[in-house]
Amino acid sequence: MKLGTYVLILFVIMLVVSVGVYEYNSYLYPSEKNVKSVKVGDKISVYYYGYIYYGGERRIFDTNIECVAKDNATYPKTLTYKWSGNFDPLTFTVGNKSMIEGFEEGVVGMKLHETKTIVVPPNKGYKFDWSKVHNISLTQKIPIIENMTLNQFQKRFGVSNPYINSVYRDKYHGWNCLVLYVSGPKNLVTIENIPDVGGDYQPYPTPDLIIHVDNASNGYIRYSYEIKKLPILLPNGGVIDEVHKDYFRINFNPEVAGKTLYFVVTIEKIW
């Protein structure tokens, strides 16, 4: 057999072996072109957790991953986080605006089973409403003797039928008050604020917000707020999230409003 014939046969054998190895490797390691990726209009299911930063600390505000929901040491939560107990994949159609804009844009192009951190800027997340923000002076004064309606008294003291000469705790300030006068027909309650001058009071169930009574004179009690740590969730749903030289801010927006959001997302299924 001629040398040229041997060369030709050897070339054919090498070609067949190369093709076989390529097809075998392609089967074991499919190319990226063969992996489905998310497009607008696709229906997808995802696992995720979302977080924001408070003073440099990561706080989880939402998740459908059970181990993240239950682990508060590794994954500290926002003040208003609520554990739903539902750990099913989140299913939605990309582009139908059922999710916030930045989240939908972030999943486009992700591949099946890929995990990615999506960063959502404030303008593509949850809107911030400045009408829901109130600035409160760090120093305050109230009359020693106050008149109020029965409804106002109930909100402040949690009591619907006050009695004269009874002492009730003021939920707004934390100190005691003496009822001086009650009139149902006049819808009127008169109280006397009786805190200790120089005393510290805790109006809400948190040690991070203290009221210090500075003095009582000329018919008024003067006091100041001491805020030790942020953020602070108030019973009325507001959050103290900023403290400045002369005032602090109570924010009634959702905690995620106006913030950069971070979502760690895994694509579970693409239809």
Task: Say which residue the tokens 């924001």 belong to.
Answer: 52
Specify the DSSP class assigned to residue 34: G
Residue 33, Cβ density class (10 Å: 0-12 exposed, 13-18 middle, ≥19 buried): exposed
CA distance 133 to 246: 16
Q: Are 97 and 217 in contact (CB under 8 A)?
A: no
- Give the pLDDT band of residue 224 (cuts 50, 70, 90): very high
Q: What is the pLDDT of residue 13?
A: 55
CATH number, domain 36-129+257-270: 3.10.50.40
- Give the pLDDT band of residue 10 (cuts 50, 70, 90): low
Specify the DSSP class assigned to residue 170: -
Domain borders along the chain are: 36-129+257-270, 132-251
Q: What is the pLDDT of residue 5?
A: 58
Q: How far is CA 265 from CA 51, 88, 151, 262, in A?
A: 12, 14, 48, 10
**Res. 28: pLDDT tops 50:** no
Q: pTM of the predicted model, to two decimals?
A: 0.74
Mean pLDDT, range 94-100, rounded to an integer: 95
Taking phi over 0 as left and psi of -120 to 50 as alpha, with beta for the rest, 109 belongs to: left
89 three-class SS: coil
Q: What is the pLDDT of residues 110-134, one digit of tens each?
A: 999 999 999 999 999 999 999 999 9
Taking phi over 0 as left and psi of -120 to 50 as alpha, with beta for the rest, 206 belongs to: beta
Q: What is the pLDDT of residue 85?
A: 77
Q: What is the pLDDT of residue 24?
A: 43
